[in-house]
């Protein structure tokens, strides 16, 4: 989804991740912290932060209370795609870098 197509709820979720993806990504990050970065704990933290961000938007007059009332369901992201060799954030970043390289190299190198 393009950034311009995101609604306020989805933007608030992305802002939630800026607090620390390892502890706010609902997928969890047990490879980082088995005890505190579980799916359940991360989802709980993300929902709380998401609600806080939306409420702050109202306090800061960037959103009306009426608009805020529309966003009651947490925008749970799709589960991350698993790479056969790399998982989590590392796998995602490696895949992103690979796609960028393949799309932008000037020697027509392909996978």
SS (H, E, C) 20-38: CHHHHCCCCCCCCCCCCCC
Rounded CA separation 14/69 (Å): 19
Give yes or no: residues 13 and 65 share one domain: yes
Question: Which structural domain range is residue 36 located in?
Answer: 3-78
Give yes or no: residues 26 and 8 share one domain: yes
- How many residues are there in the chain? 111
Give yes or no: residues 51 and 86 share one domain: no
Give yes or no: residues 33 and 49 share one domain: yes
50-60 per-position pLDDT tens digit: 999 999 999 99
0.75 exceeded by pTM? no
Question: Are 14 and 26 contacting, i.e. CB atoms less than 8 angstroms apart?
Answer: no
Give yes or no: residues 10 and 28 share one domain: yes
Give yes or no: residues 72 and 85 share one domain: no
4-55 per-position pLDDT tens digit: 999 999 999 999 999 898 999 999 988 888 899 999 999 999 999 999 999 9
Rounded CA separation 105/55 (Å): 44
Rounded CA separation 109/111 (Å): 7
Rounded CA separation 24/6 (Å): 19
Give yes or no: residues 41 and 91 share one domain: no
Provide the domain count of the chain: 2
Query: Helix and strand tally (H, E) in the chain?
Result: 5, 0
């Amino acid at each position: 989804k393009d950034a311009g197509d995101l609604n306020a709820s989805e933007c608030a979720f992305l802002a939630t991740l800026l607090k620390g993806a390892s502890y706010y990504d609902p997928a969890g990050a047990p490879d980082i912290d088995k005890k505190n970065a579980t799916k359940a704990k991360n989802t709980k933290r993300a929902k709380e932060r998401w609600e806080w961000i939306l409420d702050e938007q109202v306090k800061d007059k960037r959103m009306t209370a009426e608009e805020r009332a529309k966003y009651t369901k947490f925008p749970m992201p799709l589960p991350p795609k698993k790479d056969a060799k790399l998982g989590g954030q590392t796998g995602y970043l490696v895949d992103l870098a690979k796609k960028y390289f393949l799309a932008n190299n000037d020697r027509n190198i392909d996978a």
